[in-house]
């Protein structure tokens, strides 16, 4: 994955100066993930282990006329292992029309795995597919995540 994202920072709370003239900065992430899963027999249960790594360059150019605010450039690395447990009863992984998919992961990010800081990331993803008629299907998705420790501000 490679991207370049331009963002504006308007401050936290009410800040008249930043509301009129936000601080502009750029994120350039580059990363990827590998994952292997094992299915327990013919059951819907899967266990997996993955590795994720991203390096992100943060550029900040101070606007003219802001004394004491230098230009800023930093690279942040996040790397960690992500074990997972999955329940999958979908009838098709590409275009499911019925079934359930629930996956929970708990990522451990640390210098041992290439990360600048130590943090944990828990995530649960759930999808439900229901046929409404022979040609119409409903898909619903819920995704929740939380980070603990010292995650980079961009995670």
DSSP 61-101: -PPTT-TT---EEEEEEEEEEEEEEEEE--S-SSS-SSEEE
**pLDDT value of position 134:** 92
Higher pLDDT, 6 or 111: 111
Total Cβ atoms within 10 A of residue 82:
19
Lowest mean pLDDT among 32-36, 73-77, 93-97, 109-113: 73-77
pLDDT at 117 over 70: yes
Radius of gyration of the chain measured on its C-alpha atoms? 21
Q: Which residue, among 43, 123, 107, 109, has the nearest Cα to 77 in the 3D structure? A: 109
Query: DSSP character for 10?
Result: -
Q: What is the DSSP letter of 2?
A: B
User: Which pLDDT tens digit goes with each residue over 33-72?
Assistant: 999 999 999 999 999 999 999 999 887 776 665 555 566 7
Task: Check residue 154 and give its pLDDT.
Answer: 59
Element (H, E) at 7: strand 5-9
Question: CA-CA distance, 153 to 67, in Å (whole number)?
Answer: 25
Q: What element of type H or E holds 25?
A: strand 23-39
The span from the CA of 84 to the CA of 108, in Å, is 12
Between 12 and 146, residue with greater pLDDT: 146
Q: What is the DSSP letter of 41?
A: T
CATH code 2.40.160.50 for 5-149: yes
Domain residue ranges of the chain, discontinuous segments joined by +:
5-149
Q: Please give the model's pTM, rounded to 2 decimal places.
A: 0.78
């Amino acid at each position: 994955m490679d991207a370049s994202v331009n963002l504006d920072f308007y401050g936290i709370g009410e800040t008249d100066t930043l509301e009129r003239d936000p601080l502009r900065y750029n994120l350039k992430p580059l990363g990827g993930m590998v994952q292997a899963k094992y299915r327990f027999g013919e059951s819907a249960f899967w266990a997996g282990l993955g590795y994720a790594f991203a390096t992100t360059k943060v550029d900040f150019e101070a606007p003219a006329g802001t004394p004491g605010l230098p230009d800023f450039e930093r690279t942040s690395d996040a790397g960690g292992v992500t074990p997972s447990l999955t329940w999958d009863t979908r009838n098709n992984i590409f275009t499911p029309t019925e079934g359930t998919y629930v996956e929970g992961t708990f990522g451990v990010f640390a210098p041992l795995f290439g990360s600048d800081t130590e943090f944990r990331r828990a995530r649960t993803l759930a999808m439900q597919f229901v046929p409404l008629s022979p040609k119409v299907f409903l898909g619903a998705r819920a995704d929740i995540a939380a980070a603990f420790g010292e995650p980079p501000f961009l995670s």
